[in-house]
Every structure is written in structure tokens, then in C-alpha cells.
Structure 1
Amino acid sequence: MSLPRIAVDAMGGDVGVRVMIEGAALARRRHDRFKFLLVGDETQIKSALDHHPNLRDASEILHAPEQVEGDERPTQALRRARRTSMGMAIAAVKSGEAGAAVSGGNTGALMAMAKVSLRTMPGIDRPALAALLPTLGDTDLVMLDLGANTECDARNLVQFAIMGAAYSRIATGLAEPRVRLLNIGTEEIKGTDALRGASEKLREASQTLALSFDGFIEADKLARGSADVVVTDGFSGNIALKAVEGAARFVTDLLKDAFQSSLRSKLGFLISRPATELLKHHLDPNNHNGAVFLGLNGIVVKSHGNANAAGVANAVAVTARLLEENLTERITADLAEGAALQGSMPAAGETAPSAGSDIR
């Protein structure tokens, strides 16, 4: 069964058209039900498609005369949305020409365009950026927010938890994901008023919603597998994410240097190569690529700007699964169940997307 078309911002990402098209073609080879709307410079897209007839036969090109630059401010990008590949890809989701959009471009601009065009779902004050992170447990970890909202109150954090749990049930298959709040300690007295307020409400939510609230978690335990969903504000989440990614690169570089230090080390590398290759695969961010903006009236997925073709293909696969599993409808149902819970909390004020947010 074919899925609704996926709009691909072909001009997004650090490399641009070549990698985005290669990634879409790889995803198409793996799943022949995928169909695409490729948005960007028509001449460049057609040239790239000459090498991928399998993708060309499953795609339509939508010409966009401009593209969003990596260092462009969201407010500036918004003014050009109707002429850029990113803005036109999101507009295709709003009009129903596509079921979802994928972009590797400027995260702040993508967040701003998606929020203005698609609007937030009823019951959601702010959308959040969520991604899957590898753990030592049996399943990946859903973490949010990762940069869309630098400041959040308790109401925002509760909404993020509800949305993150819905995403986790799709991504991991768990019936009641374990939800925890990122904090400086696990004791109930630790943290800000927003964290303690959200904790109180999420304990109540565990009684009615399909999630299990397990209290606070510290950053050094993120990869241990003791949580399925970790909720935080976008400022802390973005720092934590980049610290995790940096630690992963540090470990792989350290191993590489160690195995090249002597002849004995090189022989040791040959013996341990299957294990090191498994480690490399587990830590490679391309294998976990594809962060989703939760809380919008439509699906928009952010690919790493420096993702390779395999990473883009993974982001496309994440997008397709969210379409197939009706993520938006699942979140709507959970929000309806949690409406009474949120109704007892102060309403959150509207805040524009942070101009500095970016997942690279």
C-alpha cells in the first residue's frame, strides 16, 4: 500500500541536492511504496535524478526559485517562505499535496515556517522538537524539546510528555513508555518550579494516560536505558544532545587513535573489528537521524544538516512511519484524555521560536 507523498526540501542540508536526492532514492529502494514531491531548483533536481531512475519514476518536481540559507534568521526566512524550497515543502503539507515534509535546512527557520503555516494542534501551546537517541536498553530514547523553545513552564513540559509518549509508542512499540524529566538531581525537592509542577501533574497523568512517570533523571543517565521518554526545555535539551553527540565522537576518535598507535594495537583492531564496527554503527548519528516537530497540524521532520545519504534515508523512513501510524491523530486522542489535567494549570504564553535554535 502506498503512502501519501513526502515533500523533500531538496535544497536543505549542508551539501544540498545531491545528498538529499541520494537519500530519498535509497529510501525508495528499501520501501517501494514511498512517493515524493521534490521541492527545489528544477534543473539541479532533474540532473540528480538522472542517476536514480527508481526515484524519478516515483516523484514529482516542484520548482522553487530560492532556498533558505543556513545562517538566515527565522524572521527573514518567513518573509521569503512562499518562494523557498523549505517554505513550499511545508505549504504542500498544509494544502494536502503531501502528507509530510522533510528538510535538512536551517532549524530555526523550519520551526518558524511550520508553526506559522500548519499552526499548533488544539491543546498545544508550543510545538517541540523530538528525536530518538541510542541507549544501552532494548529500545531508543525519545527526547524533547531539543531546541524549539528555550524557556518552558510546567504546562509546556506536561504537553511535551504527552506528545513524547505518543511518539515513543510508535517508535518503540511500548504500551506505557517510562517518562522522566531532565533535572540536576533525582530528589523531588530538586529543580525549578516548572519541573516540580510538571512532576506533580505527570504523576496524576500516569493514572489515566498510556505512560508511566518515573520522576527525574540526570543527564549522565540518558543512555543507560532507564527511561523511554525524557522531557526538558529546548535550551537544556539542545545542550544535552550536543554533549551526547560530542561524547560519541570522542569515543570513536579515541578508539581510532588507540588502534593506530602501534603494531600490536593494529593487530588488536583486526581481532576486535566486529565489535568496533557494531559500536561505530550504534554511535553513528546517521542511524538515528530524523527529529520531528510534535504538536503541529501536520508532520515535519528535521534531518541533520550534515547527514549523509543513509542519514537522509533514515529521516525519510521516520517520516513514513509517523504517517503510517497516524501520529497526529494519536496525539490528539491523548491530549483529549489529558485535557482535565492541563485545565488545572496556568495557561502558557505564546513565545516565538528561538532564532538561535539549530540541530546540526
Structure 2
Amino acid sequence: MSTNSTNRTVLTFDELPFQPVDDLSFMGVTFDFKVGGVDSTDANYADAGPGSIFFVQDPSLEGDAAGILTLDFDAPVSELEFGVALSTFGTLTPGFTVELFDGSTLVDEIEVDTTSLPIFTEGLFSFSDRDTPIDRVVIDFDDAAATRFAFDNLSFEKAGVTLIGTSNNDILEGGGDDDIIKGLNSKDLLIGLAGEDYLDGGDGDDLLFGGDGHDTLKGGNGQDSLIGGAHDDILEGGKGDDWLYGQEGNDLLNGGQGQDQLLGGFGHDTLIGGSGDNILTGGSGEDTFVLSTVGKVTITDFTDGEDLLQLDGLTFGQISIFEQNDDTIITTINNQPLAVLSGVDFGDITEADFVL
């Protein structure tokens, strides 16, 4: 058995000792096995099957092919895969049939062909649909051709949730999956937690926490505060005077419109002030600060030889660099302000500090 940060669970049926699977709950899935509509103990976890073939390896879930195997998931899944072997020769079309349910609603019925191997025939079932996750799977084997089945390498990934706020001040919290969380027009608190989440504050002065995973945070309208969390995140302030903090990972921060404050945190971050007079702090790591004519930035911690200045729509020959009050000032050759490098010696800034 294994799980990882994308919330994928894999069962290879060696995790538990030999036992009937009927009514067995383990790692987010409950098994049910019936023969002729009656609960049966003739399907067992960690049993011997066909040995090691392509999609099935001993031990596996082995049982009577006349039975119906049902999987009920604790939470909806958007991806599902497993292998099936049947105790017969030849290619079967189909070898087994899979019904997918969302609650009591039949979402799809899929016939899976099996390919002939010595002694056994086997096939692989695979499902992926993030728009229509399922929470129940019913598997019917071709018992006219085979007397026994082996079921192995069950892999599934929980689906994320979509949360949409109201006109009130909402607190919306995702789960451990890839969630979509949207506020509306009030002061909302949006929390992504684990997974690769998408958070959109909408209107109002919102507070957004990405949490673990590669998240995308959009403040929308209002004076918003965005905190990326772990991993590589994208933070966009939108309209209003926003505060953006990438925290860990190599983050992309874009203030948007307004007088914004951007803090990269740990990692190699890219900071874009946007329009207005913005304050940029890279934090630790080799950071890139974007200079553009749409706004002016004050960079509080530029480190020569480590950080870089990226010119957006300009070349090095179109800018002027001079010193004022112990700061380095960068403008266009037409004296349009671009950046203030606080406490940086004018003589340290050369063309090598710039990228296009």
C-alpha cells in the first residue's frame, strides 16, 4: 500500500493477512462480495492467484468469478485503475464489466476485454474524469468462461471539491485534494490545505491561504492578503492594495493594480509589482524582480550577484541608472520611474544584473 502528496492510494493486496473481503474497509475503500445476491466469503485478500503476470501479481484479491465485487469509496475519486485476471484461455470480449456510480446514479458502464496468456486471460481497467468523480464501482466477471478471478493493483485518487461562498463573510476550507474555492463579495477566509488548489477571493477584502501543494491564489477586487504556503505557488493580487507572501517554494507573485506589498519568502521567486507604487522584498534565494513602465517598485533587499532585474518591454539601452540618497534609482531614458533599489550602491549595478 502506498499514498503520496497527490492523494493517490495503491493497494497491492499484501497489506493485510488472508481474510474475506466482504464488508472489509481499508484505506478509504469498503469491499462487498456477493454470489447470487448473497454475501459470500469466497473472495479473499492476500490470496494466491495467477502468479506474476502483467496487471496482476500474487498476492491478490482472489475469488469466485460467479460473484459481484463492489467497491465503495469513502470519498469520491477522479482516477481509478486496477487489473483483473480470469482462469481461462483465450481473449474475452468482454472479460469483465465495470459500472461506475455517483451515489445511486449510474455514470457509466464499461466493458473491458482481456488478452490471452498461458493459463490465464487478463485486462486493465482505467478511469479518469475530474468533472464527474465516482464513489462506487461494481465489477461483474465473465463466469461463463472462467471459474475464478484475481483482482490486483487497485489505484485511486480522491477528487477535489468545489466550494463557492455566499454574500456573507465566509470561511471556506478545502481538504487534502485539488480543490477549487471561490469567495464572492464579502470578507472571506479561503484555506486550501493539501493538494494543488485554486483560490479566488472575488470581491471584498479577503485572506487566502494556499497550504501544501502547488496552488494558485487570486485576490480579486479589494485589499487582499495572500499566503502561498509550501511548494511553488502563483499569487495574483488583482485590484486593490494587496499583501502577497509566497512563503516556501519558487513562487510567482503579481501584485496587479494598486499599491501592493510583495514578499517572496524562501526559494527563487519572481516578483511583479504591477501598476501603482509597490514594495517588493524577495527574501532568501535567488529572486527576479520585474521592472515595467506600468508601475514603480521599491526593492528592499536586492542582492548584487544573486538577484536579477527583468526588463518587461524594455532593453538595457532604454534605461538610466543613478544614485540618490544611498539608493540606486532606475528610470527610463525619458525619466519615467521604474525602480528604487534600497541601500544598493549605484556602482554595483551593471548590465549583468538584468535579463530580458
**TM-score, shorter chain, exceeding 0.5:** no
**TM-score normalised per structure 2:** 0.25
**TM-score normalised per structure 1:** 0.25
In terms of fraction of residues, the more helix-rich structure is: 1
In terms of fraction of residues, the more strand-rich structure is: 2
Structure exhibiting the larger radius of gyration computed from Cα positions: 2
Asked which structure has the greater RCO (Cα within 8 Å, sep 6+), the reply is 1
